[in-house]
Amino acid sequence: MSQRYLRPSIATPLIYLYREPIDFRKQVNGLAAIVERELGHNLFAGGLYAFTNRQRNKIKCLMWEDNGFILYYKALAEEKFHWPKTHELVIALTGEQINWLLDGVDIQQLKGHKKLDYESVF
């Protein structure tokens, strides 16, 4: 696998996936308005926000860094992103999960063993 240099950092502490598709003509100001008005989040608090289009073949990530916005854009040549299905408007992700999503992994399918909660061995 080739090196990936322009990716969200694994160490990014706050990553939010906006579930609904958006109009991809929106740029920084339009995406910032979604973050502030619809989610009620402070965009300047260091969070990264990920958005997709209706076809799920493009992704935009928006983040404030010190003195300006970063807008990350990826358009797939083929296939689609595996966007999580849930009733929540926004989903919190880890840095590892956003990178898996960008690689085409279905993050909902990554499930560990179920937790067992016993009271006694007898």
Q: How far apart are CA 77 and CA 103, in angstroms?
A: 13
Higher-confidence residue of 109 and 48: namely 48
Is 77 a member of any domain?
yes
Is 4 a member of any domain?
no
* Helical (H) or strand (E) element with 49: strand 48-52
Phi, psi of 43 (to 5 degrees): -65, -20
Is 121 a member of any domain?
no
Give the count of domains, the chain.
1
Sequence-distant contacts of 74-77: CB under 8 A, at least 24 apart? 74/102
- Residue 55, domain extent: 15-103
Is 54 a member of any domain?
yes
Determine contact, residues 71/28, Cβ cutoff 8 Å.
yes
What average pLDDT does range 34-51 have in this prediction?
95
> For the whole model, what pTM was predicted?
0.83
Digit-coded pLDDT (tens) for 82-118? 888 878 899 999 999 999 899 888 887 765 556 778 8
Cα separation values, 100 from 7, 52, 80, Å: 11, 15, 13
